[in-house]
Amino acid sequence: APHSAGPPPRSAGIPGHGHPRSRASLRAGARAGGHSLPTCSLVLVFYLVMVYSDYSGYPFPTAPPVDPFAKIRVDDCGKTKGCFRYGKPGCNAETCDYFLSYRRIGADVEFELSADTDGWVAVGFSSDKKMGGDDVMACVHDDNGRVRIQHFYNVGQWAKEIQRNPARDEEGVFENNRVTCRFKRPVYVPREETIVDLHLSWYYLFAWGPAIQGSITRHDIDSPPVSERVVSIYKYEDIFMPSAAYQTFSSPFCLLLIVALTFYLLMGTP
């Protein structure tokens, strides 16, 4: 019969049946489909990662933001804050042996301290110019690289740490072999022996030195600098104190001696 040679119409789409060219086309399609499935899967995964990585609820670990320590401004000294500089004439917060600033901010006083040390830097509030019975705030560089603000009370020549710490908004950094910090403490505090009211005037004791495992040790110099007069937080001054290396050449006796020696050399010996 003329129609018996052709394949049944229903078997044309079944694998293994029909014309050889149809089977080759199916095998080619199967190969193409075998490559496209993994490719599509990778594309889908990549898309999901790109979409959900920006979603705040997706549990991708991210490092917490770290605010850099704002550098201490010295051009405000004597204007909007009071400053004490100890060291080389013309030094600033990054080059002085010791630097301190203070300014009122609402009901608080903000202090900035910096010193050429890898240990600690501190300021003491005293009723006289001597160490003993003083309220002390210290910024201490510990073994983990952090700078912590601690509260001490001078018992004679010994600094005792006090657990009640009036400091807040604390920040500190150790860079270029310097300990630098910034903190606030309230102007008025409940009456207590170890914490003074800053609305009153006090002598400021300036000190710095090494630390061992985060604990302060004796200050670097035998006679740390002290403010010449009591300091009021309501008066902003920019006070420079030459370090020992520069005090010698600035004394009147030394200047007179230099003039005398110069005159002697110019005139010659008789």
The pLDDT, as a whole number, for residue 265 is 66
How far is Cα 214 from Cα 235, in angstroms, rounded to an integer? 34
Give the C-alpha separation, 262 to 270, whole Å. 15
The residue ranges of the chain whose pLDDT is under 70 are 1-67, 248-265, 268-270
Q: Residue 264's pLDDT is what?
A: 63
Burial of 93 (0-12, 13-18, 19+ CB in 10 A): buried
Please report the pLDDT score of residue 266 as a whole number: 72
How far apart, in whole angstroms, are the C-alpha atoms of residue 121 and residue 210? 9
Beta strands in 127-266 (DSSP E): 135-141, 147-155, 158-161, 168-175, 178-186, 203-209, 211-212, 215-216, 238-242
- Alpha-carbon 231 to chain mean position: 27
The neighbouring-strand residues paired with 171 are 182
Whether this prediction's pTM lies above 0.85 is answered by: no
CA angle, corner 207, sides to 205 and 210, nearest 5? 160
CA distance 76 to 112: 13
Strand order in the sheet with 135-141: 158-161, 147-155, 135-141, 120-126, 203-209
pLDDT at residue number 54: 42
DSSP code of 81? B
The secondary structure element, H or E, covering residue 253 is: helix 252-267
First to last CA, the chain: 153
Write down all domains in the chain, each with its CATH number in brackets: 82-252 (2.60.40)
pLDDT at 191: 76
Evaluated on CA atoms 143, 180, 136, 184, the torsion sign reads: negative
Quick: pLDDT tens for 55-74.
Answer: 334 333 333 445 689 999 99
What is the spatial distance between Cα 219 and Cα 210, in angstroms, rounded to a whole number?
A: 7
What are φ and ψ of residue 81, in 5° steps? -160, 155
Question: Can you give the pLDDT at residue 151?
Answer: 97
- Residue 152 has a pLDDT of 96
Residue 263 backbone dihedrals phi, psi, to 5 degrees: -60, -40
Token pair in block for residue 199: 């609305």
